[in-house]
């Protein structure tokens, strides 16, 4: 098969990908902190790395790739949400409430990423299951002079690692100038970062040689990747926002604790996501979780298609227009491949993906394929047109305007007659058909939800 080339952030150039061991290609993606629903930007690296995972499995074999993505389940934000629930009178201890919150969020995360057609990683370690490994790594760093304990904290001595900053291509002094580094009495140098910190009695904590406490965030990925993938592995991926300090700190910790290994050889970073040309933010009102979009009736496959139209190394702009176009293309393709068994993927699609995951080029190549069996096989490499994801396309496009007008009319009559039973009956029938009904003073809005079934819509009189 074509050789795979990847843009390595570490060398800042495209390199031929050569695994350390072709019978066990190892891939690590920084996973979510599980305190809330994943937003659209959180889903981008998952979809990008899912395509890489599919490509590696095609080239090296399904059993020859190990993909690890962690869950960060120890974090101040998780503690804060659990504490807020406890203060609101929720039953159970704080530990139980934290556990319930992380379990619930992991369930949401799986449901949302499944809806986007992302294959589950081979291993999904939770940080709280690896505290012992983190403590062992911190002890190793102290023994080698790269870390020090002070006042219940343990800090990494950044200036003890001369290659610090290599991933970002900046010197430590430049980074200090540009970063918001915290000056604290327990630090030798403001640049030093936390490996371990003390926990109050009312927060989760673990016994350690430095007292009861909890790990810093960066050490989690270093310890879990070492335990599951070893001191050297092939690819480490994540959003560009993690390059500094998170990935820079991971490299420093891992290379200092295990200098015999080289940690990750290829670093892949995806660019950020915007919505309608603007940075996604709650204050701008353009902040979407994956679930928000699915709830608006946008199929996960459409979200995935829109993501893959932009190369992972470029900022991607989510727009309603792109979603509508993606939906039309997928409907057309799904009609073409209905009932067809996949053959082999087209060489042009494999070549595009092998060229640093050129997903936009791969989609362009899909447009040129005439044979439905080849289209289906090729699209599967991008996680598209798969059998489990297509129920939405079987339904006709959801034009609910006539039903919205009818419901608004019924409501206007009910205001006069004071008999709201017909309104409630129609509302119930719409909900049973998988429609989300939003009624406000401004009017009636109907949205096809994920379970939408046009055949169940109430008849209009
Ligand atoms: Zn990480």
Q: What is the mean pLDDT of each run of 10 residues along the chain (461 residues)?
A: 96 98 98 94 97 98 98 91 90 89 95 96 97 98 98 96 92 76 86 94 91 96 98 98 95 97 97 93 88 92 98 96 93 93 97 98 98 98 92 70 88 90 91 82 72 79 68
Give the span between the Cα atoms of 349 and 72, in whole angstroms.
35
Measured in angstroms, how far is the CA atom of residue 46 from the centroid of ligand 1?
13
Interval between CA 30 and ligand 1 midpoint (Å): 4
CA angle 94, 99, 104 (to 5 degrees): 125
Which uninterrupted H or E stretch holds 96? helix 94-115
For the chain, the C-alpha Rg in angstroms (whole number) is: 25
Query: Could you give the 3-state DSSP secondary structure of residue 422?
Result: helix
CA 221 to centroid of ligand 1, rounded, Å: 5
Distance from the CA of 218 to the center of ligand 1, in angstroms? Answer: 6
Q: For residue 231, how many C-alpha atoms fall within 13 Å in the half-sphere facing its CB? A: 9
Task: Report DSSP state, residue 126.
Answer: B
Distance CA 425, CA 283 (A): 37
**Strand (E) or helix (H) holding 7:** strand 5-8
61 Rama sector, left if φ>0, alpha if ψ -120 to 50, beta otherwise: left
CA distance 54 to 68: 14
Backbone angles phi, psi at 216, to 5 degrees: -75, 165
- Residue 275 CA, ligand 1 centroid: distance in Å: 25
Annotated binding-site ranges for ATP: 282
> DSSP characters for 330-353?
HHHHHHHHTTPPP----HHHHHHH
pLDDT at 402: 83
Q: Give 246 Cα–ligand 1 centroid separation in angstroms.
A: 6
Distance 238 CA to ligand 1 centre (A): 8
Report CA(247)–ligand 1 centroid distance (Å): 6
Q: CB within 8 A of 290, min separation 6: which ones?
A: 37, 38, 39, 40, 42, 43, 112, 113, 115, 116, 300, 303
How deeply is 34 buried, as exposed, middle or buried, from its count of CB atoms within 10 A (0-12, 13-18, 19+)? buried
How far is it, in rounded angstroms, from Cα 28 to Cα 67?
6
**Helical H runs in 368-418?**
372-381, 391-394, 401-417
CB 78 within 8 A of CB 101: yes
421 CA → ligand 1 middle, Å: 54
The strand pair at 25-29 and 65-69 is best described as parallel
What is the Cα 202 distance to its own chain's centre? Answer: 31
Q: Where are the domains of the chain?
A: 19-270, 273-394, 401-456
Q: Is residue 58 reached through a cis peptide bond, with omega within 30 degrees of 0 on the bond before it?
A: no
In eight-state DSSP terms, residue 244 is I
Q: What's the 224 CA to ligand 1 centre distance in angstroms?
A: 9
Answer CATH for 19-270 from 3.40.50.300, 3.20.20.30, 3.40.50.620, 3.40.1160.10: 3.40.50.620
Cα–Cα distance measured from residue 299 to residue 386, given in angstroms and rounded to the nearest whole number: 13
Annotated binding site for Zn(2+): 30, 221, 246, 250
Q: How many whole angstroms from 243 Cα to the centroid of ligand 1?
A: 9
The pLDDT, as a whole number, for residue 395 is 62
Q: Does the CA dihedral 442-444-448-449 come out positive or negative?
A: positive
Annotated binding site: 30, 221, 246, 250, 282
Cα separation values, 283 from 41, 178, 271, 278, 286, Å: 16, 25, 22, 12, 8
The dihedral formed by the CA atoms of 236, 241, 242 and 243, expressed in degrees to the nearest 10: 70
For residues 295-317, one letter each, b for 16 or more C-beta atoms within 10 angstroms of the residue's C-beta and e for the rest, the string is: eebbbbbbbbbbbbbbbbbeebe
DSSP string computed for 56-69: HHHHH-GGGEEEEE
Q: Give me ligand 1 centre to Cα 69, in Å.
A: 9
**Ligand 1 mean position, distance from CA 244 (Å):** 11
Q: How far is the CA of 414 from the centre of ligand 1 (A)?
A: 56
- Let me know if 12 is exposed, middle or buried by CB neighbors in 10 A (0-12, 13-18, 19+): exposed
346 CA → ligand 1 middle, Å: 35
- Ligand 1 centre from 127 Cα, in Å? 11
């Amino acid at each position: 098969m074509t050789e795979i080339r990847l843009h390595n952030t570490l060398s800042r150039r495209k390199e031929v990908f050569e695994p350390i061991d072709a019978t066990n290609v190892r891939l690590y993606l920084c996973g979510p902190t599980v305190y809330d629903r994943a937003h659209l930007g959180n889903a981008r690296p998952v979809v990008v790395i899912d395509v890489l995972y599919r490509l590696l499995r095609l080239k090296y074999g399904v059993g020859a790739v190990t993909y690890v993505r962690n869950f960060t389940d120890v974090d101040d934000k998780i503690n804060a949400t659990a504490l807020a629930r406890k203060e609101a009178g929720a039953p159970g201890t704080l530990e139980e409430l934290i556990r319930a919150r992380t379990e619930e969020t992991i369930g949401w995360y799986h449901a949302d990423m499944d809806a986007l057609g992302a294959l589950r990683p081979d291993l999904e370690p939770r940080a709280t299951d690896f505290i012992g490994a983190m403590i062992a790594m911190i002890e190793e760093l102290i023994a080698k002079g790269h870390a020090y304990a002070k006042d219940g904290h343990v800090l990494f001595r950044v200036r003890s690692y001369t290659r610090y900053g290599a991933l970002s291509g900046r010197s430590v002094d430049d980074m200090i100038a540009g970063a918001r580094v915290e000056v604290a009495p327990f630090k030798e140098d403001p640049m030093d970062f936390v490996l371990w910190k003390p926990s109050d009695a009312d927060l989760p904590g673990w016994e350690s040689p430095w007292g009861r406490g909890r790990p810093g965030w960066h050490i989690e990925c270093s310890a879990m990747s070492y335990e599951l993938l070893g001191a050297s592995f092939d690819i480490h991926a994540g959003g560009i926002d993690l390059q500094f300090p998170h990935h820079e700190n991971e490299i420093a910790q891992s290379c200092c604790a295990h200098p015999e290994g080289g940690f990750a050889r290829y670093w892949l970073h995806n660019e950020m996501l915007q919505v309608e040309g603007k940075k996604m933010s709650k204050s701008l009102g353009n902040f979407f979780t994956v679930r928000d979009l699915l709830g608006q009736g946008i199929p996960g496959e459409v979200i995935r298609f829109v993501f893959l139209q932009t190369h992972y190394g470029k900022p991607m702009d989510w727009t309603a227009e792109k979603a509508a176009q993606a939906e039309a293309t997928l409907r057309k393709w799904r009609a073409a491949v209905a009932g067809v068994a996949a053959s082999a993927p087209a060489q042009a699609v494999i070549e595009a993906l092998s060229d640093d995951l050129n997903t936009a080029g791969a989609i362009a190549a899909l447009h040129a394929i005439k044979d439905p069996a080849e289209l289906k096989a090729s699209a599967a490499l991008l996680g598209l047109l798969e059998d489990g994801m297509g129920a939405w396309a079987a339904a006709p496009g959801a034009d609910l305007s006539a039903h919205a007008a009818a419901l608004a009319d019924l409501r206007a009559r009910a205001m006069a007659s004071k008999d709201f039973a017909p309104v409630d009956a129609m509302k119930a029938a719409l909900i049973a058909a998988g429609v989300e009904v939003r009624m406000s003073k401004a009017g009636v809005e109907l949205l096809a939800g994920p379970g939408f079934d046009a055949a169940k819509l109430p008849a209009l009189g």
